[in-house]
Amino acid sequence: MKAVALDQKKMLSRDVVLVGIFTFLMALSANVRIPLFFTPVPITLQTLIVCLSIVFLKNKAFLPQAFYLTAGILGLPVFTNGGSGFLYLSGPTGGYLLGFLAAAAIAPSFLPKPATFMKLFFLFIFVNVIVYCLGLAWLVNLYHFSLMAAISAGLLPFIAPELLKILTAAAVSAHVNLRDAR
């Protein structure tokens, strides 16, 4: 009985630390950005962090996203380019930010077992589909972009960088899962 209680405490401690780390990594990765002159949406490393959080935190992966968004809304400069505040969410990247939360809440249900590179690769494509669907819908509905303009500004320039991040996340995650399986 004591061993079970200790294991539960150890897992809780691990999860609390990981939630904190991934919340910090979301803020950090928002500022590792490449602005593009033709779109209000920059390239960041945030989708990479969302994918990794799904593997490490599973059904708790939404927590760092929720804390990250809450910190930004409350005024901490955690969004891209040091942005913060509730109004920031109404900007052109608001849909993507909400997409991070949605993807982290939905995708863990589809986490494959065994978590091979290819299965993770396709899961992370699914994560990106969620993020980009919300991001594009945001641009169309709030900014009155046509669907083609939203795709041109909010999706096409990001395909190659996203594939690189997906490959990286799948490789790291498959390696971690193989190591943990031993």
pTM: 0.92
Indicate the CATH number for domain 2-181.
1.10.1760.20
Residue 39 confidence class, pLDDT cut points 50, 70, 90: confident
**pLDDT greater than 90 at residue 4:** no
Q: How confident is residue 85, by pLDDT bands cut at 50, 70 and 90?
A: very high
- Write the pLDDT tens digit of every residue in 113-126: 899 999 999 999 99
CA–CA–CA angle 101, 15, 95 (5° rounding): 10
3-state secondary structure (DSSP) of residue 78 = coil
Mean per-residue pLDDT, 74-81 = 95
Task: Locate the domains of the chain by residue range.
Answer: 2-181
In percent, the amount of the chain with pLDDT more than 90 equals: 84
Residue type (1 letter), 148: M
Name which of 125, 180, 132, 169 is nearest 29 in CA terms.
169
Nearby residues of 47 by Cβ (< 8 Å), 6 or more positions away: 100, 127, 128, 131, 162, 165, 166
Overall average pLDDT of the 83-98 stretch: 94
pLDDT at 150: 96
